[in-house]
């Protein structure tokens, strides 16, 4: 279990994260999302005891990251971004080093390495030098080192970055299989991955948490606008005019891929008012044949973009910098 309260980290005068609060229950897989520079890696580095926080507290399995750093490090597996391995080592020797570093008892070391190698599917490359491994295998070796010692907490920073779709699916399934008995924090830019793998999502932007919920609740409940797609048999100009003039409609976009003489538009309207009957009436009143109307649920990507863009729009750029800085 991980508890983070008021976590803050300054680099010089710049706040990488500020007053971050969240909680991850045991057995949960939590997706940690945010644009580049949002503070994901900094938060993960504090949780892994790599760097101390400037303020607030972070507890892993009830232990404080500042006071019980060594004990926490023994209970967690970490895969940093870019998977920094010792390229000159053979996979077997590397995992032996990790097992020794993680204080796996000498008698259990070889069985532990074998177990992990089988779990991540690297048993066939154990004798190879890491430098010569494919990106997919490197990533697996990175995961293997995180899994050595069977840690109850796993912190994975973009574990599928740079992999091909097949490898991504394999790694994703692997991470899913961890969830039974482990707490996993997973940082990624691949949003469909979060929907598929994570029980809960935390979105961080400019060092602060902007949303925290299950992926389905986020896509259902979040957003100030809703969307529907309309297909009508009429010229594009007529359709857009009819739709635009309907109250509460906030935007209309013509979409490609329609049959000749038909127009497809994406209509955005205020989320708390269902304007679909009004839209249908508006089209019919103009003698436009309404062929199809369907509401479109926002994807996690839409929610993510909306959340991180909102933040940017609500504060002027100069304010944003000012907010991040500590008063001298």
Question: Across the strands, what pairs with 9?
Answer: 17
* Residue showing tokens 């607030």: 56
Question: Per rule CB under 8 A, is residue 59 in the interface with other proteins?
Answer: no
Give dist(CA 23, CA 48) in Å, integer.
15
- Check residue 18 for interaction with other proteins (CB under 8 A): no
Q: List 292's β-bridge partners, or say none.
A: 231
Report the alpha-carbon distance of residue 68 to residue 149 in Å, rounded. Answer: 18
The closest of 216, 159, 196, 211 to 34, measured between CA atoms, is 211
**Interacting span for other proteins (CB under 8 A) from 19-27, 91-99, 220-228, 269-277:** 91-99
Q: Whose Cβ is closer to other proteins: residue 97's or residue 268's?
A: 97
# of chain residues touching other proteins (CB under 8 A): 32
Residue owning tokens 């983070």:
4
Instruction: Out of 19, 28, 97, 268, name the contact with other proteins by CB under 8 A.
Output: 97
In whole angstroms, give the CA distance from residue 259 to residue 196: 34
Binding status of residue 207 toward other proteins by CB under 8 A: no
42 interacts with other proteins by CB under 8 A: yes
Minimum distance from residue 76 beta carbon to other proteins (Å)? 8
Two tokens at 32? 């940690």
Cα dist from 274 to 10, 180, 223, 226, 286, whole Å: 45, 41, 14, 9, 21
CA dihedral 232, 236, 241, 247 (to 10 degrees): 50
Q: Which is nearer to other proteins, 73 or 169 (CB)?
A: 73
Query: Counting contacts by CB under 8 A, is residue 132 touching other proteins?
Result: no
Chain center to CA of 159: 11
Per CB under 8 A, contacts with other proteins among 63-82 are 70-71, 73-74, 76, 78, 80, 82
Q: How far is the CB of 293 from other proteins (least distance, A)?
A: 52
Minimum CB separation of residue 124 from other proteins in Å reads 22
Segment interacting with other proteins, rule: CB under 8 A, options 46-54, 216-224, 278-286, 287-295: 46-54
Residue 133 interacts with other proteins (CB under 8 A)? no
Q: How far is the CB of 320 from other proteins (least distance, A)?
A: 21
Lookup: tokens for 150: 């069977």
Binding span for other proteins by CB under 8 A among 96-104, 185-193, 249-257, 293-301: 96-104
Using CB atoms within 10 Å of the CB of residue 178, give its burial: 0 to 12 exposed, 13 to 18 middle, 19+ buried: buried
Does position 233 interact with other proteins (CB under 8 A)? The reply is no
Rounded to a whole number of angstroms, the minimum distance from the CB of residue 103 to other proteins is 6
H/E segment holding residue 138: helix 135-147
Interface with other proteins (CB under 8 A), residue from 18, 40, 59, 102: 102
Contact status: 89 vs other proteins (CB under 8 A): yes
Task: Report the residue from 49, 95, 153, 242 that binds other proteins according to the rule CB under 8 A.
Answer: 49
Q: Which stretch binds other proteins (CB under 8 A): 18-26, 49-57, 175-183, 284-292?
A: 49-57
Helix, strand, coil percentages for the chain (3-state, nearest 5): 40, 30, 30
State which residue, 66 or 173, has the beta carbon closest to other proteins.
66
- C-alpha–C-alpha distance, residues 267 and 226, integer Å: 8
Distance from the Cα of residue 220 to its chain's centroid: 17
User: Which residues of this chain interact with other proteins, rule CB under 8 A?
Assistant: 9, 11, 16, 42, 45, 48-52, 70-71, 73-74, 76, 78, 80, 82, 84-89, 93, 97-98, 100-103, 145
């Amino acid at each position: 279990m991980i508890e983070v309260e008021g976590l803050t980290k300054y680099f010089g005068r710049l706040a990488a994260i500020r007053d971050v609060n969240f909680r991850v229950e045991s057995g949960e897989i939590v997706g940690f999302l945010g644009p580049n520079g949002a503070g994901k890696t900094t938060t993960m580095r504090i949780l892994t005891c790599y760097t101390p926080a400037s303020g607030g507290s972070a507890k892993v399995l009830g232990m404080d990251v500042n006071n019980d750093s060594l004990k926490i490090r023994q209970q967690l597996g970490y895969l940093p971004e870019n998977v920094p391995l010792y390229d000159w080592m053979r996979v077997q020797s590397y995992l032996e080093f990790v097992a020794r570093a993680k204080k796996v008892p000498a008698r259990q070391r070889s069985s532990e390495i074998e177990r992990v190698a089988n779990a991540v599917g690297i048993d066939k490359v154990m004798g190879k030098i890491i430098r010569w491994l494919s990106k997919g295998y490197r990533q697996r070796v990175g995961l293997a080192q995180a899994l050595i010692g069977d840690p109850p907490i796993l912190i994975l920073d973009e574990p599928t970055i740079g992999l091909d779709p097949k490898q991504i699916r394999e790694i994703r399934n692997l991470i899913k299989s961890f969830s039974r008995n482990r707490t996993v924090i997973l940082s990624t830019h691949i949003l469909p991955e979060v929907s598929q793998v994570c029980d809960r999502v935390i979105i961080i932007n400019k060092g602060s948490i902007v949303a925290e919920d299950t992926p389905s609740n986020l896509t259902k409940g979040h957003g100030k606008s809703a969307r529907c797609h309309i297909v009508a048999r009429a010229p594009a100009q007529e359709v857009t005019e009819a739709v635009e003039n309907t109250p509460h409609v906030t935007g209309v976009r013509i979409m490609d891929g329609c049959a000749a003489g038909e127009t497809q538009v994406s209509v955005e309207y205020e989320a708390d008012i269902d304007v679909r009957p009004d839209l249908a009436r508006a089209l019919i009143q103009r003698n436009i044949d309404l062929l199809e109307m369907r509401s479109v649920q926002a994807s996690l990507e839409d929610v993510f973009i909306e959340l991180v863009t909102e933040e940017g729009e609500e504060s002027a750029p100069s304010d944003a910098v000012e907010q991040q800085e500590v008063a001298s």
